Structures are given as C-alpha cells and as structure tokens.
C-alpha cells in the first residue's frame, strides 16, 4: 500500500478543505458548520459515522479482516482571535480564527479517511476516526469519552501541527510531551476597615500578597530540582478604594507539570500554604482546585510504531526532536484510556514567512506539510493494527 502516494494524490483536496475550515472558524461547542461539512465529506465516500458530544463525529472504517481497533483523533474548534493575515482564505467570521491549526487537523483526518477507505480491504482491524469539539476549553475529549468513544479501542493516535517544528519533519518521541493544565481559585477573607486604622481590620491585600510570595516556594523548595513544574497566579482581585482596608481577595492561577505524581501533590501543597499563611495573619483562606487535563505522555511502543511510520514514509531525516511543551492538550485523556502517541507535525517555514506561534493573530501553516499529516494518520493506523 503506497500511503505516501495516496496522500499526495489527495493533496489539493486536503489544502482546499483546510482553507474552507479556515474561512469559517467556529469556537468551542459551536462547531456546527464544521461538523456538518465533515459529515458531508464522509457521506461522499460512504464512510459510516455517529454524532456524539453535540458536534463530535466518530467515523468507522472496517478492514477486510477482523482485528484490533485504533482511534485517530482530530479537533475542530477555533479561537476568539481577530485574524491579521492577508490571505485569500482569511477568516470570514469576525473575531474568530483558526489560530491553533485545528483546521489542518480536521482536513488531514478527512484525507486519512479517504486513504484508509481506499485500502480497507487490505487492513486487518477497525479504524475509528474521531472529530472532536471543544479542545480549546479542555472539555471535548472528556465528553467524547463519557459518551463511549474509547470503548473497545486498543490504541490511539493524534496529531498537532506545530509551529516550532520545521515543515517536512515530525516529532513523535516517547515520554511526557505536553504538561498537565489545572486551575485554582483562592479566596482570602479578612476584615474591612479604615485605611488609617489597619489594626482594626484584617487586610486581605496583605494576606493575599503573602500567599502569592509563599506559593513561589512550591517549585523551588518542594519539587525535585530534576523535575519541572509551574505554579502561576494570573489574577489578583481585591479592594474598592485607596483608603479602605479590603475585606476579601481573590486569586486565580494555573499549575503545569509532566509527572502525574507531582500533579497529585499540588492541590494539597497549595491548600496547606493558603490556609496556614492566612491563619498567621488572622485571616481565612480557602482553595477551589479544578482538574483540567493530565500530562500528555507518549507510550514507548506506540512512539516506536510512529517513528517507524515516519521513517517509512519520509526517511530518517524527517524525524524531528522537540522539547516538551508546558501547554496542555485534552488529547491526554484518550491516552489515559489506551496507549498511544501525539505527533507534532512541523508547519514552520521561515522562507514563506510562516513563523508565528500558535494563538497569534498571524498564525499560519506551510500547507505543503498537510500531506505528511494525512499520510502519517493512515500509516500509523495500518502499522498499529499489524502489530501483534
Ligand atoms: Ni491546539
């Protein structure tokens, strides 16, 4: 099966689909048009599908012989970003833009569906194609899984197009690739009063400031220097007037790490610091901790299959190295259900002026790289299903 050739044959289709999705971006949970177009394209090639999680689409391609099941995943949502690119396929939805590359993910997976459908008689096993909503809110995967998308799945493969990776290369190394992303809200209760008489109140601004500083010691003093983690507070809200002692302060922040055991410890550490620091100032502190996504960790064997697939398609020089990323991906939730890998397919091309980071208003991709992504989706599925 010449997967590379088939992907090349559908290159124009892939790019046209990407441009169409790019022109009509939709934010999380509102991927109505995108979902409809995905369904129409699947209908054209007679690939059956189910609709779950509102706008999610799960297509199934059965091979000629019975075997294992592999899931291929793409996300479909866009971002609240005003596009500043001057291109013919510029976003037509004001204030919304495919600034993360999910338009490319969706189009590559549609092409992979075409390829796999064409060669299905020679495939041993079943392929599920997952078109997921609401990745940018880290909610889509959770709902898709709750509605049963991972039942009976033996392995999973996902792609993120990546602006830090040169077009023509792919990173699929094993181990932690993206961080967990959780969030917390701290409430400090003090006692209001007159700014000239601080001793009669309990100043929530001072207490919350002490908490912000004490929290800095988590990474530096409680996490091994050989590990990494991030604890950031991005919001600090308190007070109403220059001469009024604030009776309350609200802090909001996020944590990131690559090790599930560190992730488990962080809520307890933050809670301990918040309650004890607040108490030492006669105030009360409490924490609401919300789990977002776990770290995205590429499983060893799956990473090997993916590496070989890349080499088979485009040679050893196509295998890129990429440092792990402190951003989060809800794809990690599929990896909790089945072994698998996320591939970072390069889209950077400085010669074409394509060098802006994800979520930037001038984010774009080297569209020539999309062929590689479609080929890799298909090749991985075939190779995974062949493994004993
Ligand atoms: Ni993304």
Q: Which pLDDT band, with edges at 50, 70 and 90, does 359 fall under?
A: very high
Q: Which of 242, 25, 56 is nearest to 134 (CA)?
A: 56
Q: What is the Å distance from ligand 1's center to 93 Cα?
A: 19
pTM: 0.92
Q: What is the Å distance from ligand 1's center to 351 Cα?
A: 24
CA dihedral 134, 161, 50, 151 (to 10 degrees): -90
DSSP tag of 99 = -
Q: What is the Å distance from ligand 1's center to 193 Cα?
A: 47
List Cα–Cα distances, 118 to 45, 112, 271, 381, in angstroms: 9, 10, 55, 14
Residues measured by CB to lie within 5 Å of ligand 1, the ion: 100
Q: What's the confidence (pLDDT) of residue 245?
A: 98
Alpha-helix runs per DSSP H in 89-175? 102-118, 140-146
Query: What mean pLDDT do residues 128-149 have?
Result: 97
- Condensed to tens digits (0 to 9), the pLDDT of residues 195-221 reads 999 999 999 999 999 999 999 999 999
Q: Which pLDDT band, with edges at 50, 70 and 90, does 269 fall under?
A: very high
**pLDDT above 80 for 257:** yes
Query: What mean pLDDT do residues 60-67 have?
Result: 97
Q: What is the Å distance from ligand 1's center to 160 Cα?
A: 7
Q: What is the Å distance from ligand 1's center to 230 Cα?
A: 20
Q: Which of 151, 175, 371 is nearest to 258 (CA)?
A: 175
Residue 243 to residue 262: CA distance in whole angstroms: 42
- b/e sequence 117-137, b meaning 16+ C-beta within 10 Å: bbbeeebebbbbbbbbbbbbe
Residue 82 to residue 296: CA distance in whole angstroms: 29
Q: What's the confidence (pLDDT) of residue 1?
A: 75
**pLDDT above 80 for 343:** yes
List Cα–Cα distances, 362 to 67, 93, 163, 167, 355, in angstroms: 44, 15, 12, 17, 9
Q: What's the confidence (pLDDT) of residue 303?
A: 98
Query: Residue 346 in contact with residue 167, Cβ under 8 Å?
Result: yes
The chain-wide mean pLDDT, for the chain, equals 97
Q: What's the confidence (pLDDT) of residue 388?
A: 77
**pLDDT above 80 for 162:** yes
Query: What mean pLDDT do residues 351-363 have?
Result: 95
What one-character-per-residue DSSP string does 154-197 give?
Answer: -EEEEEEEEEEEETT-EE--SEEEE--EEEEEEEEE-B-EETT-
**pLDDT above 80 for 190:** yes
**pLDDT above 90 for 312:** yes
Residue 214 to residue 253: CA distance in whole angstroms: 14
Q: What's the confidence (pLDDT) of residue 219?
A: 97
Q: Which pLDDT band, with edges at 50, 70 and 90, does 109 fall under?
A: very high
> Roughly what angle, to the nearest 10 degrees, separates helices 32-44 and 11-23?
160
Query: What mean pLDDT do residues 296-325 have?
Result: 98
Query: What mean pLDDT do residues 128-138 have?
Result: 96
Q: Name 171's bridge partners.
A: 344
> Distance from CA of residue 210 to its chain's centroid?
33
Q: What is the Å distance from ligand 1's center to 101 Cα?
A: 6
For the chain, what's the residue count?
A: 388
Query: What mean pLDDT do residues 334-357 have?
Result: 97
For residue 337, give every residue at least 6 positions away whose Cβ sits within 8 Å of its Cβ, in sequence order, or none: 145, 150, 153, 156
Q: What's the confidence (pLDDT) of residue 100?
A: 97
Q: What is the Å distance from ligand 1's center to 201 Cα?
A: 47
């Amino acid at each position: 099966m010449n997967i590379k050739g088939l992907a090349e044959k559908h290159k124009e289709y892939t790019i046209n689909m990407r441009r169409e999705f790019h022109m009509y971006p939709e934010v999380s949970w509102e991927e109505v048009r995108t979902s409809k177009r995905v369904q129409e394209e699947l209908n054209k090639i007679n690939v059956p599908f189910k609709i779950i999680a509102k706008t999610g689409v799960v297509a199934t391609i059965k091979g000629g012989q019975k075997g294992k099941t592999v899931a291929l995943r793409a996300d479909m949502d866009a971002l609240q970003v005003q596009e500043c690119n001057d291109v013919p396929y510029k976003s037509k939805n004001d204030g919304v833009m495919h600034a993360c590359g999910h338009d490319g993910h969706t189009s590559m997976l549609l092409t992979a569906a075409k390829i796999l459908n064409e060669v299905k008689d020679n495939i041993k096993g079943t392929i599920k194609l997952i078109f997921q909503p609401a990745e940018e809110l880290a909610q889509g995967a959770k709902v898709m899984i709750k509605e049963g998308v991972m039942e009976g799945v033996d392995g999973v493969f996902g792609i993120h197009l990546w602006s830090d990776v040169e077009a023509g290369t792919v990173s699929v190394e094993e181990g932690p690739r993206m961080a967990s992303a959780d969030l917390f809200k701290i409430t400090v209760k003090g006692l209001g009063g007159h700014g000239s008489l601080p001793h009669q109140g309990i100043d929530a601004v001072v207490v919350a400031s002490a908490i912000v500083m004490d929290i800095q010691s988590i990474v530096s003093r409680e996490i091994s220097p050989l590990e990494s983690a991030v604890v950031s507070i991005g919001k600090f809200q308190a007070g109403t007037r220059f001469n009024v002692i604030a009776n309350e302060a609200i802090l909001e922040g996020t944590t990131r790490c690559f090790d599930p055991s560190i992730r488990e410890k962080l809520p307890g550490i933050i809670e301990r610091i918040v309650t004890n620091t607040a108490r030492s100032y006669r105030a009360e502190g409490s924490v609401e901790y919300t789990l977002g996504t776990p770290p995205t960790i590429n499983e060893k064997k799956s990473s090997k299959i993916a590496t070989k697939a890349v080499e088979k398609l485009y040679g050893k020089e196509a295998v890129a190295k990429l440092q792990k990323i402190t951003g989060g991906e809800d794809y990690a939730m599929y990896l909790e259900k089945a072994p698998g890998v996320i591939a970072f397919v390069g889209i950077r091309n400085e010669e074409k002026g394509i060098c802006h980071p994800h979520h930037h208003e001038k984010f774009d991709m080297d569209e020539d790289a999309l062929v590689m992504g479609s080929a890799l989706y298909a090749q991985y599925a075939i190779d995974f299903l062949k493994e004993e």
